[in-house]
Chain A
Amino acid sequence: MLVPQILANGLLLGGLYACIAVGFSLVWGVTNIINMLHGSFIVVGAYAAFFAYQTLGINPFVTLPVIAALMFGIGYLLQRTVIRRVIGATVLITLTLTFGLNLILENALLVAFKADYRKLNLAHPLGVIDVRDYVDWLDVVVPVDRLVCTLVAVILVVAVYLFLRFTNIGRAVVAVRMDGRAAALMGVEVNHIYAITFGIGAAIAGATGTLLSVIFPISPLMSSSFLGKSFVICVLGGLGSVPGVLVGGLTLGLVESFGAAIVGSEHSLTISFALLLLLMVVRPTGLMGTRAFQ
């Protein structure tokens, strides 16, 4: 496969990856909680989209905002009832708690949907764009469904960024991330903000799941690989920073794409993890050098 095609694949993948990770990074950066449920949230979104299309015939791009809203509610409630009880506790406590919650969710998903892979096949396939039709020398083929999904994914990531910068609630989230106590002293209702952040994380995860269901076959077994990729992207790009997530996602997408071309796609997760380990040992603040939260 030629380099331009590998590059294109990597970029398309990277945009999706950024969206996979942005919710995870936000929750970790703001509430200091590693959310082990993240991968399963994505799977929930994917299955919701799948069944909405199978049984009701509704296009996944239409169900996306609905799923996002539902997941927001679930995430908000979950944080407010269970997870807030360990805010501020050690990483051991918080990680083990979300791990336990994830065991419950994963088991539920396995029981409900069984482990086999399902594919959402759109009744009207979107086809491909052959770039050679537009630019002679560029031998690249771009599947339209991937292109559209990546675009929507990037739009979502940008939307999160805009939300954080330009809305009042978003700025409150940033304030809490920078200094929770100072924010509380300034009248920010920190518990509410934590819950909102968690809700956003869940919502974006669900939305990403919806997008992924269009392109990839889905199964509950995928939740841990989504979680793993989110870890890698967070460390690559620095915690809680949206531009960082974009950089991290694109980097991972490119690394996997080139890695798959060179050593075969079954090693891609190993390569990402090995890269992550190396990075943590050598430069734990991430490629962008943003001071990450301890």
Chain B
Amino acid sequence: MKYSTLLLVIACFLALLLVPFGVGNYSVRLATTVFLYAALALSWNLIGGFAGYPSFATSAFFGLGAYVAGIAQHHGVPMAGAWMIGTMACGIFSIGFGAAILRLKGHYFAVASLIVAEVLREIINTSTSLTGGGMGLNIPVFTSNPDLFGRIFYSAMLALMFASLLMTIWVSQSKTGFALRCIQQNEDAANVLGVNTTGYKILAFALSGCIAGTAGAIYGSWVSYIDPSDAFDILISVKPIIMTLLGGPGTILGPIVGAVVFLMFEELVWRNFMTIHKGLLGLIVVGLILFLPTGVLQIRRSNSRAWSQMRAWIAK
């Protein structure tokens, strides 16, 4: 990674870090949600965009991270430590689970990744003594100062998003990214050219799972109460996919752009149409699939040099 890129990223991070001091709590919460989903979209992009494996397991790792960290905090582990434990649990689980299902192709992989969230949800649901089951889990709040609370989680999610972004940039420019692209375009050819496809796929899946798990862990502490249908909601798997498809799969900034656009839409819809909120979400999804399968970044066919330069940088 070039120094200039790294410096630019860090500068953006620091700039955004200062924002909460000038805006109200509602905007801070909204921004935190955007960073959360941007991180999830970036995580999905690694396995779904770069490697081309359509994973629906994002919610499985999100929920697992949330619960492991939540249970840890419930038992007195300090917040940051709990987040690390949650992330590690997801790392281990994603490697094991990935080894099992990444051999499957296409539909079967998609279905298996979809189902694992359901299985985890049910297991958590029925382990009432440990997790509170369907009644949910309360997670201790470390401060009652709402401003401080909001800013801490804003910063945490922001940091997660930037960490995911840096990881994406690194993957994209390294041999790993090259290998993943080969796998996505022609896995058989990649194999005979010496690419250890299983190893790279598991790596991408594990990175993806860890990011989603950390996001879940932070989320749990942020909302202070989680329950199984909330933490393992299938929409947590589907929305990042839509966002990445919207912004451009296999690109670096695509997932972030997609997350911002999608959540802006959703915010407008949600605020005004609560009962038919899901239906309108469905309409957005259908519209996007039918009309924009290759990403927002593609529709700007403007001839301006700056735009095409940025596109070239993004598409690396």
Contacts and interface: CB of A to CB of B under 8 A. Distances in A.
A222 B278 CA distance: 17
Interface stretch (B118-126, B155-163, B209-217): B118-126
A267 interface: yes
A288 interface: no
Interface residues of B, number: 39
Interface string B107-139: 110111001101100110010000000000000
Nearest to B275: A111
A250 B275 CA distance: 39
Contacts of A97: 285-286, 289-290
Residues of A in contact with B, size category: 35 or more
Contact of B126 (A90, A104, A270, A294): A270
Contacts of B119: 270, 273-274, 277
B118 A103 contact: no
A90 B242 CA distance: 14
A95 B282 contact: no
Given A96-B238, A104-B282, A294-B107, A281 B289 contact: no
Contacts, number: 116
A107 B106 CA distance: 29
B279 interface: yes
Interface string A98-115: 011111111110010000
Interface of B: 48, 54, 56, 100-101, 103-108, 110-112, 115-116, 118-119, 122-123, 126, 238, 241-242, 245, 275-279, 281-286, 289-290, 293
A141 B56 CA distance: 43
22 contacts: A82-B286, A90-B54, A91-B54, A92-B48, A92-B241, A95-B54, A95-B110, A96-B238, A96-B242, A96-B285, A97-B286, A100-B285, A100-B289, A102-B282, A103-B279, A104-B279, A107-B276, A231-B115, A277-B119, A281-B104, A281-B112, A294-B106
B275 to A, nearest CB: 6
Contacts of A91: 54, 106-107, 110
A269 B122 contact: yes
A294 B111 CA distance: 12
A266 B126 contact: yes
Nearest to B282: A103
